[in-house]
């Protein structure tokens, strides 16, 4: 089987500015742990304050880009994955390009001359993370870039597509183009609920894309928010996963599978009207560095086996392995080679 370009991701490429901060810092900027939000005016000074006050690390991030890089790392087949998103023409953008090339991902960035490369403040307290994203250039992605022959060729070549829900705030029309292509050509289209605010405030575009989703990923908080927004009146993650899997589909080729992670609790997989639960690899608290990128890494591990047509048990096992590696390191980073067998 030819793996070149088999998996394509689209999303918001962001440079993570990561630091261990304190409760006061979170309070000052009105940030909740384990949340992800878009930066408002009140958040803008925090980036500067973080670099002055704490020891910061700069790590190439962005949810979809993290997942694609992890899938690429797990596959160890150069060029198996591709990625599109928008960066600025600046040193952070150059850094991102260098990073992705080293990771073996075939990136086709749209470079915007008017805005700086997007950043994401990763505030870590007690190993738990909170994200505040300042999209900047990432917000400037246009479907015109996707339609260019050299970029659309990546879509034609791929058999699997993964897009984090965060991209719904940027270019729903790009998502729709890829989703419709996937349905027409019997390919596999996948998205992530990504954050409570996506389910709450971008409900319309999320619902428009949902019929095309063959796999829906998310965590327990996002799943419960999705349930609340849709008036399902249940907090039971297994029930919610089932209901999402039974949402009407645009194409009958693949049945929808919902995969919900719950931190240290078992992964919930809903398909065919049934729910399966898979335990995760438990990690002693003292080994936890930070949870930044854990969900992204889970998806990356999962996708690395899915594109090889492995059974769902193997996909989940690989997802759990990748997440376990990432939470023992700062940000979404990994050792040179995986030890997954």
Sign of the CA dihedral running 223, 170, 157, 14: negative
What does the longest C-alpha to C-alpha distance in the chain come to?
54
Q: What is the CATH number that goes with domain 7-13+62-117+136-327?
A: 3.40.1190.20
Count CB atoms within 10 A of the CB of residue 98: 11
**Sequential DSSP letters for 261-298:** EETTEEEEEEETTEEEEE------GGG----TTHHHHH
Residue in 165, 169, 176 with CA at minimum distance from that of residue 211: 176
Q: pLDDT at position 333, please?
A: 83
Burial of 178 (0-12, 13-18, 19+ CB in 10 A): buried
Q: pLDDT at position 1, please?
A: 60
Q: pLDDT at position 293, please?
A: 85
Residue 145 near residue 151, CB atoms below 8 Å: yes
Structure confidence by residue, pLDDT tens digits, 283-311: 988 998 878 889 999 999 999 999 999 99
Catalytic site positions: 296
Q: Which residues pair with 140 in a beta bridge?
A: none
For the beta sheet containing 36-38, the strands, ordered from the edge strand earlier in sequence to the opposite edge, are: 36-38, 128-134, 119-125, 14-20, 57-61
**Could you tell me the two tokens for 149?**
């022959």
Is 0.75 topped by the overall pTM? yes
The yes-or-no verdict on residue 99 having pLDDT over 70 is yes
Query: Confidence band (pLDDT; 50, 70, 90) for 203?
Result: very high
Structure confidence by residue, pLDDT tens digits, 36-60: 999 999 999 999 999 999 999 888 8
């Amino acid at each position: 089987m030819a793996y070149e370009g088999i998996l394509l991701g689209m999303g918001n490429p962001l440079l993570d500015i990561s630091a261990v901060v304190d409760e006061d810092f979170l309070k000052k900027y009105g940030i909740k742990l384990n949340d992800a939000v878009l930066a408002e005016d009140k958040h803008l000074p925090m980036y500067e304050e973080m670099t002055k006050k704490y020891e910061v690390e700069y790590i190439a991030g962005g949810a979809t880009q993290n997942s694609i890089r992890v899938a690429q790392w797990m596959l160890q087949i150069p060029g198996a994955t591709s990625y599109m998103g928008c960066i600025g023409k600046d040193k952070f953008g150059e850094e991102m390009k260098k990073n992705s090339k080293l990771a073996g991902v075939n990136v086709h960035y749209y470079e915007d001359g008017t805005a700086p490369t997007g950043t994401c403040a990763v505030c870590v307290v007690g190993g738990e993370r909170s994200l505040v994203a300042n999209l900047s250039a990432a917000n400037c992605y246009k479907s015109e870039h996707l339609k260019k022959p050299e970029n659309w060729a990546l879509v034609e070549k791929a058999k699997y597509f993964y897009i984090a829900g965060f991209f719904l705030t940027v270019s729903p029309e790009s998502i729709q183009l890829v989703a419709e292509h996937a349905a027409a050509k019997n390919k596999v289209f996948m998205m992530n609920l990504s954050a409570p605010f996506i389910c709450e405030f971008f409900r319309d575009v999320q619902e428009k894309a949902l019929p095309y989703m063959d796999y829906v990923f998310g965590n327990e908080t996002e799943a419960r928010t999705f349930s609340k927004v849709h008036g399902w009146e249940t907090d039971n993650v297994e029930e919610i996963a089932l209901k999402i899997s039974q949402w009407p589909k645009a194409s009958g080729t693949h049945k929808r599978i919902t995969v919900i992670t719950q931190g240290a609790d078992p992964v919930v997989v809903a398909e065919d009207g049934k729910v399966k639960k898979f335990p995760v690899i438990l990690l002693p608290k003292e080994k936890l560095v930070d949870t930044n990128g854990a969900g992204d890494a889970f998806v990356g591990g999962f996708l690395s086996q899915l594109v090889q047509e492995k059974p769902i048990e193997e996909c989940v096992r690989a997802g759990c392995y990748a997440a376990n590696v990432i939470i023992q390191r700062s940000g979404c980073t990994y050792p040179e080679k995986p030890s997954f067998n």
